């Protein structure tokens, strides 16, 4: 049984090797195409998710749910998932960049720098800004019931503005990085 498995693997390896040489001879390098695809998929999914989050999730939560506190909890939960997915997308994008460039120097290209900035802002938003907002929310009990003149609520609103600005910056840098990625030549 093991011999048959090893033979099948050898045959598959020879098939992929032969296919690789055919594409290479034709001027196409499949791995580069695959890595470029991974870059566009990862960054496109991240940018698209931010747009969907802002246009649909936040709007829907505050229109459909009965209280602002419930909507805020849903938005916070969804945003944490978006940030986690963004981190994974950044790692995929950056790994594909290094693979395409065959060097860590690929990380100093404008699109990769943009993705690194996006990741840094996303981590800062989730780990610092939103963490502080969650602590304030717990102290207030209800954001909706707390007057906007109260110091805890004022700080919460200030941090919320920072969170929105960070997410907007991540989106704009993401669109620019996606454009730079799509227009760059495969290496």
Domains identified in the chain, total number: 1
pTM: 0.80
* Per-residue pLDDT at 46 exceeds 80: yes
Q: What percent of the chain has pLDDT over 70?
A: 83
158 assigned to some structural domain? yes
12 assigned to some structural domain? no
16 assigned to some structural domain? no
pLDDT tens-digit series, residues 110-152 = 999 999 999 999 999 999 999 999 999 999 999 999 999 999 9
111 assigned to some structural domain? yes
Report phi then psi at 141, rounded to 5: 85, -55
Token pair recorded at residue 15: 């098939």
**CA distance linking residue 98 with residue 14, whole number of Å:** 26
* pLDDT at residue 187, as a whole number: 45
97 assigned to some structural domain? yes
- Structural domain for 164, as ranges: 30-183
6 assigned to some structural domain? no
* Per-residue pLDDT at 29 exceeds 70: no
* Cβ 75 vs Cβ 57: under 8 Å: yes
Measured CA distances, 109 to 100, 162, 186 (Å) = 12, 28, 13
145 assigned to some structural domain? yes
150 CA to centre of own chain: 35
pLDDT tens-digit series, residues 74-121 = 999 999 999 999 999 999 999 999 988 888 998 999 999 999 999 999
* pLDDT at residue 11, as a whole number: 63
* Cβ 94 vs Cβ 43: under 8 Å: no
* Cβ 86 vs Cβ 122: under 8 Å: yes
90 assigned to some structural domain? yes
Window from 15-24, 39-48, 131-140, 162-171 with minimum mean pLDDT: 15-24
Half-sphere exposure of 151 (CA within 13 A, CB side): 0
**CA distance linking residue 2 with residue 13, whole number of Å:** 16
């Amino acid at each position: 049984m093991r011999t048959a498995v090893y033979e099948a693997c050898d045959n598959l390896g020879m098939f992929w090797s032969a296919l690789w040489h055919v594409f290479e001879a034709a001027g196409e390098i499949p791995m580069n195409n695959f890595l470029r695809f991974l870059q566009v998929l990862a960054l496109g999914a991240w940018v698209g998710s931010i747009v969907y989050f802002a246009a649909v999730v936040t709007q829907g939560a505050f229109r459909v749910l009965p209280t602002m506190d419930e909507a805020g909890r849903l938005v916070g939960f969804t945003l944490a998932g978006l940030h986690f997915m963004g981190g994974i997308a950044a790692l995929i994008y950056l790994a594909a960049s290094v693979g395409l460039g065959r060097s860590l120097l690929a990380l100093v290209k404008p699109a990769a720098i943009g993705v690194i900035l996006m990741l840094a802002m996303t981590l800062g938003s989730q780990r610092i800004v939103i963490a502080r907002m969650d602590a304030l929310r717990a102290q207030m009990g209800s954001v909706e019931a707390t007057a906007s003149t109260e110091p805890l609520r004022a700080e919460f609103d200030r941090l919320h503005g920072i969170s929105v600005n960070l997410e907007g910056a991540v989106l704009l840098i993401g669109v620019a990085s996606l454009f730079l990625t799509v227009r760059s030549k495969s290496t």
